[in-house]
Homo-oligomer: A and B are copies of this chain.
Amino acid sequence: MVQALNHLRDQIDEVDQQLLDLLQQRIKLVHKVGEVKNQHGLPIYAPEREAAMLAKRRAEAESKGVPPALIEDVLRRVMRESYTSEKDSGFKTINPELGNIVVIGGRGQLGRLFVQMFRLSGYQVDVIGKEDWQQAPELFANAGLVLVSVPINLTEQIIARLDQLPENCILADITSIKAAPLSKMLAVHKGPVVGLHPMFGPDVPSLAKQVIVYADGRGSEQYQWLLQQMAIWGARLHPVDAESHDKAMTLIQSLRHFTSFAYGVHLAQEEADLELLLDLSSPIYRLELAMVGRLFAQSPYLYADIIMASEQSKAMIKRYHNNFGELLKLLENEDKQGFIQAFERVSDWFGEYSEEFLKESRGLLQQANDSRRA
């Protein structure tokens, strides 16, 4: 038996060596594609092409008796690596005539990422931190873009100081609320204005497929190049009006972060046995625990700011707490029928999305289970 196994394992070793070589070749080829695209200013992420390529590969897999989902998952993973390596060769400069770019708060985590991306795209980038505000007038004099990347609670007061920018300079911010900063920017600056919200953390390996939301202020024809530049990085640009954005964020950010925070506090209060919870956890619970736990490896100030960002947020969290309390009564009254009725109303409300979510999460839970270590 040992001999038979060893022989097979040697063969698997050989296949894996070839697999490694192919992955290496593929990364190099895609890198060359990136260079060609870059010379011509094409985005590194082209959704339709990617979808067409994957459909073709799935069909080929099918005809060879390989599960189509396998080749799709493998290629998606390989593509991530390719997107990441695009950074190394830099990106085309869409607006070479632009003056310098000034990033205020460019030493913060997300600010640094934007500084890096602009520099990789051939722009002259200057950074202003807390300590070097005295250099600001000089840096602003030739600025083509000023990007505000400071904590939410400072955003408006920093913007208030930007009333001396050149008239054609674009003023933009990347705060996670949009209405207040946008109207402040419009009030202090007469030139083009756009509010941005990058929907990702500073630790992404590349901007490919990452969403950047933008809310128009004025002068969209003047900041088009900026959107185009971010599209070249691979980002998905999504226009939104500032009010709808802020309302959605009370759910997407404030409430979700607060419930994660509350769940963490609760676990600590209960003196839960984390080790046991992990030992007993299903892939889905492990994922949920990781999503809560990851919050507490990050900055409390950042989350305090996001959660306490607006009265709207507080009101949303409060309504959730009240709804939760109402539902709790179903349990206290052992009202199984009431629970089922409420459940079914929500199923109707989700409509086809619940099935889609079930399918989508199944794949992700399997990936989580694949990664499970001994």
The answer to whether B331 touches A262, judged by C-beta atoms less than 8 angstroms apart, is no
Which residue in B71, B78, B204, B244 is a CB contact (below 8 Å) of A276? B244
Contact with B along A333-372 (1 / 0, CB 8 A): 0101001101111110110011111101111101111111
Q: Hey, which chain B residues are within 8 Å of A9, CB to CB?
A: 33
Chain B: minimal CB distance from A156 (Å): 17
How many angstroms between the C-alpha atoms of A366 and B273 in the bound complex? 29
Q: Please classify the interface of chain A as helix (H, G, I), strand (E, B), loop, or mixed, using the class held by over half of its residues.
A: helix
Shortest beta-carbon distance from A77 to chain B in Å: 5
Contact A81 B67 (CB under 8 A): yes
Q: Is A270 part of the binding interface, using a Cβ–Cβ cutoff of 8 Å? A: yes
When chains A and B are docked, how far (Å) is the Cα of A205 from the Cα of B24?
A: 30
17 A-B residue pairs with CB within 8 Å: A8-B33, A15-B26, A16-B71, A74-B77, A79-B370, A199-B281, A251-B272, A252-B282, A258-B331, A264-B350, A274-B353, A290-B361, A293-B358, A296-B350, A303-B343, A363-B371, A364-B368
B24 with A12: CB separation less than 8 A? no
CB within 8 Å of B: which of A9-29?
A: 9, 11-12, 15-27, 29
Tell me whether A209 and B372 are in contact (CB under 8 A): yes
In the bound complex, CA of A75 to CA of B17 (Å): 12
Alpha-carbon distance A65/B20, docked complex (angstroms): 10
In the complex, the answer to whether B323 meets A324 with C-beta atoms within 8 Å is: no
- Asked if B361 contacts A291 (CB within 8 A), the reply is yes
**Distance to closest chain B CB from A271 (angstroms):** 9
Q: Is A136 an interface position by the 8 A CB rule?
A: no
Which one of B71, B209, B277 lies within 8 Å of A369 (CB-CB)?
B209
**Bound state CA distance, A268 and B374, in angstroms?**
40
A17 to chain B minimum Cβ distance, whole angstroms, is: 7
Give the CA-CA distance A370 to B80 in the complex, in Å: 7
By a CB distance below 8 angstroms, the chain B residues around A332 are 314, 318
